[in-house]
Amino acid sequence: MWKELMTMPHVIFGVFGILFALWVAVEAANSSEANQRRLKLASIGTTLFLWLTYLIGGWWYVVYYGAAVSNSDKSIILAGPWKWSHSFFMETKEHIFFMLLFLSILLPIVTFRNQIFKDTKVRNLTIVIALTIVVLGLGMEGFGAMISKGIKMSLMGGK
């Protein structure tokens, strides 16, 4: 039960990171002198939630998913009919996530060092960074669902 519960904060913080990045995009698109504080707060929130997602997910991966034991989630998937749910989705997820971390660090740098409402190019850059986080984050959520389905298919003996 503990193992299953520990995946929940990983997913929830990931969703919060996506929502905060969307908030950044909206604030940047409607940027004015009045909303700079909210824009900066949302950019920091994006970074914090994505790093929490990484730390919890990384811990869970080492302890439960990739552990060198016969009943790890990875070994269960690889022994089942949906091997590709690890070989494609988890392998891809492991690499995309580092881009998300980089973008999440870049976001507050851009918002704190510039007056977004005065510079259209910086505003557009902020929106692109934030929406890239949203799109990649949604993909990561979907990839996680496919990995979970791979475990279920293996445990249920599905085809």
64 touches 3 (CB < 8 A): yes
Q: Tell which residue, 142, 157, 28, has the closest CA to residue 96.
A: 142
Average pLDDT over residues 4-24: 94
Residues sharing a CB contact under 8 Å with residue 29, sequence separation 6 or more, in sequence order: 123, 127
0.75 exceeded by pTM: yes
Q: What is the pLDDT of residues 69-127, one digit of tens each?
A: 778 888 889 999 999 999 999 999 989 999 999 999 999 999 999 889 999 999 999 99
Class of the domain covering 2-156: mainly alpha
Domain boundaries, the chain: 2-156
The reported pLDDT for the residue numbered 159 is 63
Give the pLDDT confidence score for residue 2 in this predicted structure: 72
For 26-59, write each residue's pLDDT tens digit: 999 999 999 999 999 999 999 999 999 999 999 9
